[in-house]
Structure 1
Amino acid sequence: MGKNKQELYSVTEWSDVITLTVSERHPVLTVSPSWLSPGASVTLNCDVEHPSAGWSFYWYKVIKQEINRLYKYELLPGSISGTAQDSYIIHGQTHTAGYVCRAGRGDPEYHTDHSQPKFVWSADLNSAASLTVSPNRVQHFIYDSVTLNCSGNSSQWRVMTFTQHGYLRKCGDLGIMTESTCNLRWFQDTVSWCESESGQFSNGINITASYTDVILLSPVHPVNEGDSVALGCKLRTGNFNSTVAFYKNGKLIQNDDREKLNIPAVSKSDEGFYKCDYSGHESPESWMSVKGSRSSLSVSLITGLVSGMSLILLLSLLLCCWHKKSKGDLFIYFYFIY
């Protein structure tokens, strides 16, 4: 006897609803230091959202493509198969450069998205291009007219900016770009630099947009040891009619009626964060960088060469005297004065 179609299968009630969430892991790249001393080592760290064993990390340098002017990522040496460590050290970094990372695990390997680019900036002017700012200072009032200009060994440059919120933008998005010059119409705290079509980078400069009534006048580029430097304090409107205070790393170093802090011969110990205060109105802080002068490097090199030659001559003389002494011909005593 056959069965009815309704008896061939049965249907249960619906289960409870559950939500399945697939989370993409976006690694976060950090760089240290973000501002270079020439030839310094740079450490990259790649952090995933939920770190656990089994991750491999891949490290890339940001390269600008000439055709579409977009960026591409080029694997760094030793990173083709990934690294077990979530950090990567770059030795001898001398110029501005951008980096990204990503992570992967499993078999077959699942890869995260690339991190947001992070840049390491060099303030050194001895590069393929140089970026200058007018007015020539770090801090500017929010409605100031500011001009950035690129110059170098390439016919075409563009000014790039990295904002305080971590966005990479063309300078033309914040103003008007004419050939290699960018006139900012509105801006925020940024680091700016020049890029050529062949992917060369210039020095980087800090630009601070201030909403305060007072700004600090400080050099944009690093100053050489031995140079004289004058830091100033500037009001948005009006003139100073009482004392002006200057601070270094939060410590008061001058408090009188002078509008400038004069440093006649800068040394490495003068490097630090500076700000000024007038009638309770403080400027933002700005970092003043100091680098060794070429003259001091030359003196050190010459001193080293002279010392080395003196040591060689002294050893030769000692060897000669020892040889003569062994034959009973000559005795010489040396007195070393410390």
Structure 2
Amino acid sequence: MGITSLCLMLSTLVLHPDRSQFFSYDSITLTCGEAGNSGGWTLKRNTSFHTSQMCDSDWGVSSSATASSCVIEDAYPLDSGVYWCQSALGENGRGVNVTVTDGDVILESPGLPVTEGDEVTLLCSSKGREATPGSSATFYKDGVPLGAPTAGSVTFPKVSESDEGFYACELPAGGRSPPSWLAVNAARAEPPPLLSMPWLLCAVMLVVLHIVMFAVCVNVHRNLAKARAESEKRASRER
């Protein structure tokens, strides 16, 4: 793996609030960087009307000299699109979809990909209110209802790759949210387990035993060789 590819893997686009859907006039902060260091990264976006657009006064306020961070103070549906980080070498990190709706309902789902095994909660929120877990809501995956209406939220205790898909929610008095893609990354392979303490002690004892046996064998061989040499020397004198 090249250094550039590794850096792109480490680069992160952070959304605040951490969700992919927003109401009109919401404030959105987007920051890209590498382990907290935004130097060398530039935030860009593709929308229905612009491509590879950097943060400027037409749609956001840049909070850094390198345009690696941008604040959309009053979001509009025209701000919907794909946002990503671009390195100083011109290579692009993974894009994140942002949806701004003038409707009355949004689905609060993670804006960034989640990892297999994570706990993930989706909330259905109505305009002008915080997400209300006590209200009845119907959730959809790929256009198909996820069972009966729930109390405003649905939780995946341990999300898996099979849960990846387009999700939306619907409130009886508010309508349905736009769909959002829930991306699930495969979990990293666990390292092989280390030897347990009893097995480790056994292995150490075997190594020590082999060393002792080798030393004994070397000493016996030396003594036999010495005795043989003295015997031959004595025999030659007697002649």
Band the TM-score falls in, shorter-chain normalisation: 0.5 to 0.7
2: CA distance between counterparts of 1:208 and 1:229? 19
Q: Which amino acid aligns with 2:179?
A: E
User: Structure 1 residue 260 and structure 2 residue 145: aligned?
Assistant: no
Partner residue, 2:22: 140
1: CA distance between counterparts of 2:28 and 2:42? 16
Partner residue, 2:69: 181
1:77-96 maps to which residues of 2 (within 5 A)?
none
Residue from 90, 108, 111 that aligns with 1:199 = 90
Residue from 234, 237, 250 that aligns with 2:125 = 234
- Residue aligned with 1:269, SS: helix
2: CA distance between counterparts of 1:125 and 1:138? 24
Could you tell me how far 1:201 is from its partner in structure 2?
2.8
- Identity level (%): 36
Matched-pair contact (CA < 8 Å) for 1:232–1:259? yes
Q: Relative to 1, partners in 2 of residues 1:166 and 1:238: Cα closer, same or farther, differing over 3 Å? A: closer
Q: Which has the higher helix share?
A: 2
Residue from 35, 44, 61 that aligns with 1:160 = 44
Q: Output one character per residue of 1:288-318: Cα deviation in whole Å (capped at 9) or x when no partner.
A: 111210036x57xxxxxxxxxxxxxxxxxxx
Residue from 102, 110, 119 that aligns with 1:219 = 110
2: CA distance between counterparts of 1:207 and 1:176? 17
Partner residue, 1:271: 164
TM-score calculated relative to the size of structure 2: 0.66
Higher RCO (CA < 8 A, seq sep 6+):
2
Return 5+ residue gaps in structure 1 as ranges. Answer: 1-93, 96-123, 300-338
Q: Output one character per residue of 1:156-199: Cα deviation in whole Å (capped at 9) or x when no partner.
A: 43211100345331122411112132001334211111223332
1: CA distance between counterparts of 2:117 and 2:99? 27
Query: Which structure's CA Rg is the greater one?
Result: 2
Matched-pair contact (CA < 8 Å) for 1:125–1:203? no
Partner residue, 1:295: 189
Partner residue, 2:218: none
User: Structure 1 residue 169 and structure 2 residue 60: aligned?
Assistant: no
Could you tell me how far 1:287 is from its partner in structure 2?
0.8
2: CA distance between counterparts of 1:295 and 1:129? 21
Matched-pair contact (CA < 8 Å) for 1:224–1:293? yes
1: CA distance between counterparts of 2:28 and 2:38? 23
- Residue aligned with 2:189, SS: helix
Q: Which amino acid aligns with 1:233?
A: C
Q: Which amino acid aligns with 2:28?
A: V
Partner residue, 1:127: 9
